[in-house]
Structure 1
Amino acid sequence: MIEIEVWSDIVCPWCYIGKRRLERALAGFEGDVSIQWRSFQLDPSTPVGDPRPLIESIAVRKGLSPAQVRGMFAHVTGVAAEEGLAFDFDRARTTNTLDAHRLLHLAKAHGRQAELKERLMQAYFTEGADVSDHATLAALAGATGLDEVAAKQALADGSYAADVEADIAQARAYGISGVPFFVFNQRIGVSGAQPVEVFEQALRQSSLTVLRAPAGSADASSGECTDDSCAI
């Protein structure tokens, strides 16, 4: 059994692309694999309930025009399309993802984490959903087979916050400074949305290579996205 841990954030575009590339590698792999989706927030300081469009928020923060920000997103949108993903940054909203990560831990406890992870990312990048809104989150949980009432209760009472913090602490212990980051059997580390061939190689060699920190990682406070990952 190969155990894969993936540190990512729901609002990280390269995390969604990396997810698809990992899935493509797994499609041609015959061994048994389990995946755990670990929590990390690109920007935990993002206000909850901020209604601004993502393009507007980034434009203000970086001192750019909305047109310039759209240009920044054009490349990643094209790469996503090659993986069968339809990104719509015009609909995306500024979002604090803590509660979504808490809900993913609830889903893990009920064997539905993979389904919810996919649904959350699709909702954010394609549908413009507010994945910090509790009603929206509960509805998305219900759509993946979880009890919607239980999801609402977990969101309301702060459940699984400690699990989110534990994931973040483990990432720091590994020296992870960018997402997505994939760890195979606690031995091989793959940083970024690498080509499918890299994931295939990691699957083959998962018992041979020690964990390594990502090369060329960005400053942990920058929250910036590069060509294949987002800094945390």
Structure 2
Amino acid sequence: MALPVIECFSDLHCPWAYLASFRLRQLWPAYRGRLTIRWRALSLEYINQRGTPKPILDLEIPLIQQIEPALPIQRWSRPDWEWPATFWPAFEALLCAQAQHPDAAFELQWRLRVAFFGEQRCVALRHELLALAQEVAQVAPLDVARFKADWDSGRFKAQVLADSRQGWHTLRVPGSPTFVLPSGEQVHNPAAGQATIDEAALTLRGYQPFRGDALAVYRELLDRAIHVAPTTPAMHS
């Protein structure tokens, strides 16, 4: 019997999606084998028609540090010329892992985010992506030779675009991250609070924190995905 599927539409350079992944990771041992998370590209580069916005991330990262002090995240301190202007190659890498096994995808999406936010690695570069695949292969079922062949061939390049179009234009999700449950319900950025950022002035105007147990919110989300049957056929790219 097929497991229930939650689709997570997110951008890999989104710090809010990184926070969501951190919280999911804490709960996942109790849910592995009971449902599947399918990682969907929701490229901000595509919808905003610009590269990775370092000034915006420089505003958001200190806020994320306050929300979750245990999360490995820091502002980029390496030279600006080493900054990953695009995350498209990283999206492709995640899809290469997802084509092999959901555990490999779960691990790689986490390692990609940690590599960028916590380790200052440029995940737009092939050698970094292959190194991350090697790391994942130590803890999850990932054939690195197949991963390398799929990535080098560009097998999933079009899928990144298709996922992003589905998220932004078909499902019209509010932003990154958005979880789409088997019922079709969309849950955007759960238990994260509400930040108001003036991008033109590069200013954080305010933050309304979430009050409550964030992990309880995620636990309820996962339980709902397991126990609520789909009401309409799922849309897949």
- TM-score (ref. length: structure 2): 0.70
Q: 86, 91, 99: which is aligned to 1:109?
A: 99
Kept in 2: contact 1:8–1:39 (CA 8 A) = yes
Query: Is 1:187–2:191 an aligned residue pair?
Result: no
Aligned length: 193
| 1:119 and 2:115 aligned | no
Paired position in structure 2 for 1:141 = 133
Higher mean alpha-carbon deviation, 143-152 vs 101-110, is at 143-152
Letter in 2 for 1:36: R
1:166 aligns with 2:156: no
Cα distance in structure 1, aligned partners of 2:32 and 2:143: 33
1:202 pairs with 2:204: no
| Matching residue of 2:123 | 131
Structure 1 72/19 Cα, relative in aligned 2: closer, same or farther at 3 Å? closer
Deviations 1:6-30 (A, max 9, x none): 1111111110101122334445569
String of CA shifts for 1:44-78, please: whole Å, max 9, x gaps: 4456xxxxxx8xx644xx8xxxxxx8565321122
Q: For residue 66 of structure 2, what is the aligned residue in structure 1?
A: 78
State whether residues 7 and 39 of structure 1, in contact with CA within 8 Å, keep that contact through their aligned partners in structure 2: yes
Bigger mean CA offset, 116-125 vs 69-78: 69-78
Q: Could you tell me how far apart the structure 2 residues matched to 1:192 and 1:164 are?
A: 21
Among candidates 34, 37, 51, match of residue 35 of structure 1: 37
Aligned residues of 1:3 and 1:33 also touching (Cα < 8 A): yes
- Structure 1 stretch 141-150 or stretch 171-180: which is displaced more? 141-150
Deviation at 1:139, TM superposition (A): 1.5
Unaligned runs of 5+ in 1: 48-53, 63-68, 212-232
Aligned partners of 1:176, 1:13: CA distance in 2, in Å?
Answer: 17
In structure 2, list runs of 5 or more residues that go unmatched. 192-213, 233-237
SS at match of 1:136: helix
Q: Name the SS for the 2:119 alignment partner.
A: coil
Partner of 1:228: none
- Supply the AA of the counterpart residue of 1:88: Q
Per-residue displacement from partner, 1:141-165 (whole Å, max 9, x unpaired)? 1221144444444333321112212
Answer whether contact 2:183 2:229 (CA < 8 A) is retained.
no
- Tell me, yes or no, if structure 1 residue 89 matches structure 2 residue 80: no
Q: Which residue of 2 aligns with 1:2?
A: 4
Q: Work out whether residues 84 and 124 of structure 2, in 8 Å CA contact, stay in contact via their aligned partners in 1.
A: no
Instruction: Give TM-score scaled by structure 1 length.
Output: 0.71
Give 1:209 deviation, angstroms. 8.7
Q: Assess if the C-alpha contact under 8 Å between 1:131 and 1:137 holds in 2.
A: yes
Cα distance in 2 for residues equivalent to 1:141 and 1:108? 12
RMSD: 2.8
Percent of matched pairs sharing the same residue? 25
- Cα deviation code 1:103-155 (max 9, x no counterpart): 11111111121121111111111111111101111111122114444444433
1:200 offset after TM fit, Å?
A: 2.5
Change in Cα spacing, 1:71 to 1:3, as seen in structure 2 (3 Å) is closer
Match of 2:206 in 1: none
1:76-112 superposed Cα distances (whole Å, 9 cap, x missing partner): 122232xx31102133734311111111111111112
